[in-house]
Chain A
Amino acid sequence: MAFVKMQTRLSMVAACALALMATAPAQAATDPLNPRPANAAAKPTFDLTGNWWVTQPEGAAGFKPDPPLKPEPMKVWQEVNDKRAGGENFRDKSGLCLPLGMPLILTRVYPIQVVQDAKKITIIYEYENNVRWIFIDGRPHPGPDDLIPTFMGHSIGWWEGDTLVVDTIGMNEEPDIQPGVPHTKDLHIVERIKLTPEGFNDELTLTDPNLFEKPWVTAKRYKKSDSELQEYHCLPENNHFAVGADGVLRAVEPPKQ
């Protein structure tokens, strides 16, 4: 018991020291293609391998709190909220069987399977069986000429003490971060992942100078799950929703029987 206490105290001291060290490189000009600080851990601090399930209410509610938007994007966000209050799903592309990508995929309430190896962390999302790779072998992001925009973007990760830091760039502009929050190619996401007694916390800091007044900090919480992942494919011919000319998602006629 005394040993555990001492260990806790020691790890707190270590965490404080790391936190102090971590602030130093943040103040220095970091390379956006290789933002790993000099004091990043040489080896992974933990292994995220396993099945996890995002917990409520964060999962069903998009991202909270509301985004700190600039005046122009704020108008789009307000229009979506006004229409939603009136019963219309405006700009909701999640109903169209399209890949969601980062970060909208994080709002789906389905289990995920994480497989961590020496090079990368692979996340399989049951929702539409989407896959995301986070490279943890020290490689930087591709340079501007080599970066191919994708739904998930390009993610690299490293550990700072007890925290897995994941840096993501290169997300294409589809779909909105959540309906009504469209982003540009400058979207940059930094995730700080920490283990919790139930699972792990993923704190996200989103920046996009075209969109936000200041960084948008939001979080998703996960718990350990015994549920095995299943196949999930969203087939357009089985989908009974379509976006009208007015941008509103509606149920349409079921297929001919």
Chain B
Amino acid sequence: MSGLKYLTLATATTALLSAPAWAHHSAAMFDRQKTSSVAGTIKKYQFSNPHAWIYVTATEDGVQKEYSIEMTSPNLLGRAGWRPGTLKTGDKVVVRYHPFRDGTTGGQIVDVTLPTGKVMTEQAIN
């Protein structure tokens, strides 16, 4: 019983710490316990409210797939160093993300490794 209680508390604490700071909508649609990674090419970088999106294409086993990666708002991304020109179509990047639960290819951003090797996150200074 006490073990279960501890586990619940630990889970709750983790959930609290990892809760997205930006919350436009609830993050329930993403599996925040999982982190996936894709190395691919930027198809489109949409730097607009309410959420910025990155579309990445990658070929796996001869099949091209498109990944839709959701980010927070440009307002908060701007405070974390992102700019409209941070990503360009054709850039080779590695994106880590929390996958959609419903099977949609893509998910919620964790970080992006730019062609220069620089790692961008959503961590903003407020």
Contacts and interface: CB of A to CB of B under 8 A. Distances in A.
Interface of A: 53, 56-57, 59-61, 83-85, 87-89, 92, 94-95, 97, 107-111, 126, 179, 225, 227, 230, 232-235, 238-241, 249-251, 254, 257
A85 B26 CA distance: 11
A107 B19 CA distance: 13
Interface string B1-25: 0000000000000001001111111
B40 to A, nearest CB: 16
Given A60-B20, A61-B19, A233-B49, A87 B28 contact: yes
A53 B49 contact: no
A253 to B, nearest CB: 9
Nearest to B79: A227
B16 A111 contact: no
Contact of A61 (B16, B25, B68): B16
A108 B23 contact: yes
B75 A232 contact: yes
Contact of B104 (A89, A107, A251): A251
26 contacts: A53-B126, A56-B19, A56-B21, A60-B21, A60-B22, A60-B23, A87-B29, A94-B25, A94-B26, A95-B24, A97-B50, A225-B126, A227-B79, A227-B126, A232-B75, A238-B46, A239-B51, A240-B53, A240-B70, A249-B26, A251-B70, A251-B100, A251-B104, A254-B44, A254-B55, A257-B43
A251 B29 contact: yes
A85 B28 CA distance: 7
A227 B76 CA distance: 11
B53 A110 contact: no
B73 interface: yes
A92 B24 CA distance: 10
A56 B13 CA distance: 13
Contacts of A109: 21-23
A107 B23 contact: yes
Interface string B81-93: 0000000000000
A234 B28 contact: no
A254 B19 contact: no
A235 B46 CA distance: 13
Interface string B51-84: 1010100000000000010100101101100000
Nearest to B17: A57
A87 B21 contact: no
B36 interface: no
B49 A232 contact: yes
Given A60-B20, A87-B101, A239-B50, A95 B75 contact: no
A234 B50 contact: yes
A131 to B, nearest CB: 16
B125 to A, nearest CB: 8
A126 B29 contact: no
A226 B53 CA distance: 27
Contact of A89 (B21, B26, B73): B26
A57 B29 contact: no
- Of the candidates A61, A109, A249, the one having the most CB atoms from chain B within 10 angstroms of its own CB is A109
Given A89-B25, A249-B29, A250-B102, A57 B50 contact: no
A243 to B, nearest CB: 10
A232 B24 contact: no
B35 interface: no
